[in-house]
Structure 1
Amino acid sequence: MSPVSSAHPSLPTGVQTYKGSCPCGAVRFEVDFEPSAGTTRCNCTSCTKNAWWGINVKPSAFRLLSGQDVLRDYSRSGVSHTQFCGVCGTRPFGYGNVPELGGEYRSVNAHCLDGTDLSGIQVTYLDGLHDTWEELAVAPYVSPFSAHAHPESRPRPS
């Protein structure tokens, strides 16, 4: 994957620790990842219908801080699992072992990171719908909510 564009200076370099949670706050976690490693979007029905945007890391880079007692598990194939909050139903992360994706992994839904603007991070679109995991496209993410997307909304010097 291509490194993160330098046109988006808000993205840190090097491994960073990010905090995340489900909307109700019952499930909280931390994940360590390097933004230049990029993210993934899959076109399978589960990922598209749940707006899954994956940050894949090795298991040691993920820490569940709270919510073990409310977590529920869903698996379409028995190979890849998403875990969801039994209180609000949100799917903040998952796990699995897919050789095409590098073996055992944890995957965090980037939408569940707290207060993080990932504008500029590379998104690799994968064909999970047909279980080929073929790379369909790679493009930098542009948040429609960030200052990068709407420079005219930033304060102007007087």
Structure 2
Amino acid sequence: MSNPTSAQSTLSPGLRTYKGSCQCGAVRFEIDFDPSNGTTRCNCTICTKTAWWGVHVKPDAFRLLSGGEVLGDYSRHEAMHARFCKVCGIRVFGHGDIPELGGAFYSANLNCLDGANLSGIQIKYLDGLHDTWEQLAVAPYVDPFSARAAAPHPTA
């Protein structure tokens, strides 16, 4: 079990730098974002089937630190590129240029952040399936693993 004091708390406002990686560690990145601005989940087929949970930032707030040579690229259309590690298969980040989302952006897979506690961060659910990017709902993230760790263990 990870040490909860080593996890980065994300609920207080302010721009922070987060580090992330794929499962095997071949692809590593940094991203600057303010967790109080919320995150996104999209209902398009690629995001749904890969359980994508992202945060959108301007291109200068994302830095690929290593692994460019092992990145694969999946594109549903020219406006969006889903980048994944060809070693372990994890979808690490994406980038594109979608006017409805504010133009050019990078989006990191928040499931790939190292040591970040995201409990309570707002998730905006977007309609990418129909390319409207309309906000469908907003809800706070609840980490099911932290909730289980905090619950009393049944006695045998």
The TM-score range, normalised by the shorter chain, is 0.7 to 0.9
What does 1:16-55 align with in structure 2 at a 5 Å threshold? Answer: 16-55=16-55
Report if the CA contact (8 A) 2:125-2:136 is conserved: yes
Counterpart check, 1:139 vs 2:124: no
Cα deviation, 1:9-63, whole Å, max 9, x if unaligned, reads 7624200110000000000000000001110000011000011101100000001
State the 4+ residue runs in structure 1 displaced beyond 6 angstroms: none
What does 1:1-158 align with in structure 2 at a 5 Å threshold? Answer: 11-147=11-147, 151-153=150-152
CA distance 1:73–1:110, shift in 2 (3 Å) = same
Structure 2: which amino acid aligns with 1:82? A
Distance 2:116 2:146 in 1: 10
CA distance 1:10–1:135, shift in 2 (3 Å) = closer
**Structure 1 residue 126, shift from structure 2 partner:** 0.5
Distance 1:27 1:55 in 2: 18
Report if the CA contact (8 A) 1:117-1:146 is conserved: no
Q: How many residues align?
A: 145
Structure 2: which amino acid aligns with 1:69? E
For structure 2, the residue ranges without an aligned partner over 5 or more in a row are 1-8
Report if the CA contact (8 A) 2:10-2:121 is conserved: no
Q: Higher strand fraction: Structure 1 or Structure 2?
A: 2
**Structure 1 residue 77, shift from structure 2 partner:** 1.1
What percent identity do the matched residue pairs reach?
Answer: 67
**Structure 1 residue 115, shift from structure 2 partner:** 1.3
Distance 1:63 1:153 in 2: 41
Q: TM-score, normalised by structure 1?
A: 0.87
